Structure formats: structure tokens, C-alpha cells
Structure 1
Amino acid sequence: MSHPAEPVSQPSVLTVRAVLFDMDGTLVDSTAIVEQVWSEFAGRYGLDIEEILRTSHGVRSGDTVRRYAPAGADVVALTAELDAMERTRTDGVIALPGAEALLSALPDEAIALVTSADHILAGIRMKAAGLSMPTTTVTSEAVTLGKPHPEGYLKAATLLGVDPADVVVFEDAPAGIAAARAAGMRTVVVGDAGHLEDGMWRIPDYSDVTVTSVKDDDGGHLLTLTL
């Protein structure tokens, strides 16, 4: 007796004018280093490392230090110390599968990196992973309010000259997903964070993502991504 075939899911097709990427966990796998640094911070002050890792992913380091450092601690100095530790550690930093090919296929003037890392760390991590840095970047020092606030994503859209409704964001962390959603942007979740709502999609990595790009009448780009 034959059994009915399993239904084949159809790929999702998104048409946008710009693509915004988070970095850590989205383009670059730097999990081991991030966990090392925060474990040392937690151990120094007797803090719950699991709680810190649960809430720090995708958030600016200074915001996490401010949240968890003991009363009276020098938040600025601690943040600078942790940032310096992260900059000197690149072992095991790799690009997610398909990330390099997708970045290469997208027009530079239609993409931006929006990361909670500072500009120096972003450059170090992208280089270590073998990825080219987009010309347009919004790093931690470029915003007043970090993720989950939408300021970074809205700023990137403005720099690219596109409406938030014409943007798709690739994100992996709850704070970043919340920021993209608050900015009114379609969101592709890389990995297994959170649950999907309308206007959200999920991929394990970029292995099966393809893109075509055509110039529109205004000189911008019309990008069609197949997930």
C-alpha cells in the first residue's frame, strides 16, 4: 500500500529595496568568544552566567554591563575592558554557511550592517570570518539607544534612502528581532530564536537563499530574495 507523499513547502519570495544584517549570530558565528568573555565577567562578580547570556545576545556590551555590574562599579571602564577582550579573540570566528555568497550577490548600495558591536570589533569579526564589510554600517557608537530599540535599523534605512516597509532584516537575537519589528521591517530569523509572526520568516543559514537584483526607474535596486 502506497502512502501519500509529504507536502513540499514552497520557498518564500520577498521583494525589497534594501537588506539589513545583524552581525553576531546572523552573519558571523562568534558564540564561543562571546560566552568566554561574559563568563569571565560573571565569574568575577559572582553573577548568573546563564541569565547574562540569555539577555545579552544582540545587546550593546555597555547596556549589559550597566544592567548586571554591582553597585559602584565603573561601567565605562568595565565595558572598555570587555570590549578589548573581545577584540583580541578571533579563534573560531566563522561565517555562517552561504553568508559570503549572499553578501557578494547583493549590491553594496542596497545593504547595511546594523550591529551592537562597535566599529572596531565589527571590522575585526567580519575580517576574521572572511566577509566584506558593507559600506553602510550602523555600529554601537552610532546610536543613542541600542537594540531592542529600533533606532539603528531606522538609521540604516535613512542612510540607504529607503522606506522601512521596503526593507528586510536578517536577525538572530530576540533584542534584534524586536528592534527590526519595531522599525516596521520584514524580518528573517536566522536560527531558532522566538516564534514567528506575520511578516517574519525563518532560515537555518543562507545555504538556500538566492537573490536577483534589477535597477528600477529611480536608480535604486529592486531585490528579489528566495528563502
Structure 2
Amino acid sequence: MSPEQPRTTLTARAVVFDMDGTLVDSTALVERIWTEWCGPLGLHPGEVLAFAHGRQTADTVRRFLPELDEEAVLRHVDALLSVEGEAPDGVVEIPGAAAFVAALPVQLVALVTSAPGNIARSRTAVAGVGLPAVVLASEDVPVGKPAPDGYLRAAELLGVEPGDVVVFEDAEAGLQAARASGAQVVVVGDHDGPASEGLTRVADYRGAAVELGDDGLLTITL
């Protein structure tokens, strides 16, 4: 968080993070990959990127190439993910993310990402952010964000009710998913879409702190 922001205290029994834009900043890499994909297809990169952020790759391909059958969609997805997996350069930690994740009890933390598991492992490793034991990647969640399925499944695996979870998210689709799950939601960054209205917001995790009470309740100060 930035020094000028007022301190906010939340209580929860578990914490769930999105990845891109929430724990790691992969903006430069993602923009390059989607822009290169758009070129030969005559698509507008700005429109594609505005939709793609926070969503599974296949959902974006289907949205902008609706004429494709599923086999063709998957060929595009495989090509895009191959480039992403081979080029982790430019991925950096959201300030304070590594220390904040490390301060949380590992058994009370999950990651829900629209990226495949291999890319989640690669990007967090490059950024120096530790992965929790519970990781739900795109292949683990058939219906991706903005549906709440991933966040509901994370709460189930952590053994808590969705309302006892704090979710950190940065994109419209992810914020919609988190809110629909019934979790408490914190916006990371400057996204100002409809789903961010009225939510707690942080620029990053600098200064964030957590305490675990004897009753298993987490007190998170942002």
C-alpha cells in the first residue's frame, strides 16, 4: 500500500489471490503476446486486451474468433500459451507481495488464476513469490472468471465458508467472480470498473501485515 492511504483492517479465516496484476506484474509480456496475435488476424489489440485481462485464454479466443470450431480454438490457445511459457522475462513482483504471502499461514492461502499451472509456477518463480499449497489454474476450473467457480472451490479446499475469505483481485472479470462467490474482496491496483465500486483498495502490499489469532482468525492490516 502507498504511505498516504488510510489503514484498513479485515478479518478472515483464509486468503485467496489472483495472480497476474495481483501478485505479479506481467503486463508487458501479456500485451506483447496478444498484440502479436492480433496482427495477422486484423484484430484491435486494445479491444482484445481489455477483454482478456483476468480471463482464460480460450474464452478470449472464442470471443474474438467466434467462427472457429473448438479444435481451432484450442490450436490458437496452444500457440499463445507456448509463447507465454517460453518467455517469462518482464514479469516482476507486485511490491510487497512476496513478503505478504510468506507471512500468511500456508494452510490458509490459495491461488486462483486464469493462467495454466505451468505458467503460474513460472511467473511466480521469476517474480520471487511463493506458491501456496492450494493452486487452482485454468485446467482446474472448467468455467473461468467472471464465474465464481474458482473462488468457491478454493474456499471448499481451504475448509472455510466463502464469506470467511478475503480475495485479492485486480481485473473486472476476477472482481466479478470474487464478489459473486460471497467473499470479501480487495482491489489491487487502479482498476475502476463497476465491479470495483465500494471495495477496499490497495496499490500494493508494502506495509501489509497479518496476525493469526488463537481462534484461527486472521487479522489483516492493509
Query: Shorter-chain-normalised TM-score: which range?
Result: over 0.9
User: Sequence identity of aligned pairs in percent?
Assistant: 49
More helix by share: 2
Instruction: Work out which of the residue numbers 84, 97, 109 in structure 1 matches 2:107.
Output: 109
Q: Distance in 2 between matches of 1:213 and 1:131?
A: 21
Task: Give the alignment's TM-score, normalised by structure 1.
Answer: 0.91
Deviation at 1:70, TM superposition (A): 5.9
Code of the residue aligned with 2:205 in structure 1: it is Y
The answer to whether the 8 A contact 2:25-2:92 is kept is yes
Q: Evaluate the alpha carbon distance shift between residue 38 and residue 9 of structure 1 in structure 2; reply closer, same or farther with a 3 A threshold.
A: closer
Partner of 1:223: 218
Going from structure 1 to structure 2, the CA distance change for 1:9 and 1:71 (only over 3 Å counts) comes to closer
Distance 1:72 1:185, change over 3 A: closer
Gaps of 5+ in 2: none
- Alpha-carbon separation, structure 2, partners of 1:222 and 1:184: 18
- Once residues 23 and 207 of structure 2 are traced to their aligned partners in structure 1, the CA distance between those partners, rounded to angstroms, is 15
Residue of structure 2 equivalent to 1:62: 58
Counterpart position of 1:206: 205
How many Å apart are 1:10 and its aligned residue? 4.1
Compute the displacement of 1:90 (Å): 1.3
CA RMSD of aligned residues (A): 1.4
Which residue identity lines up with residue 161 of structure 2 in the other structure? D
* Contact 2:22-2:170 within 8 A present in 1 as well: yes
2:81 maps to which residue?
Answer: 83
How many angstroms does 1:91 deviate by?
Answer: 1.2
Amino acid at match of 1:222: L
Conserved in 1, the CA contact under 8 Å of 2:62 and 2:68?
no
Shift of 1:9: 6.5
C-alpha change, 1:76 and 1:210, in structure 2 (3 Å) is same
Shift in CA distance, 201/166, structure 1 to aligned 2, threshold 3 Å: same
**2:156 corresponding residue in structure 1:** 158
TM-score, scaled relative to structure 2: 0.93
Contact 1:45 1:70 in 2 (8 A): no
Residue correspondence of structure 1 range 63-212 to structure 2 within 5 A: 63-69=59-65, 71-72=67-68, 74-194=72-192, 196-198=196-198, 200-212=199-211
* Structure with bigger gyration radius: 1
How many positions carry a matched residue from both structures? 215
Change (3 A) 1:136 1:9: closer
The equivalent of 2:37 in structure 1 is 41
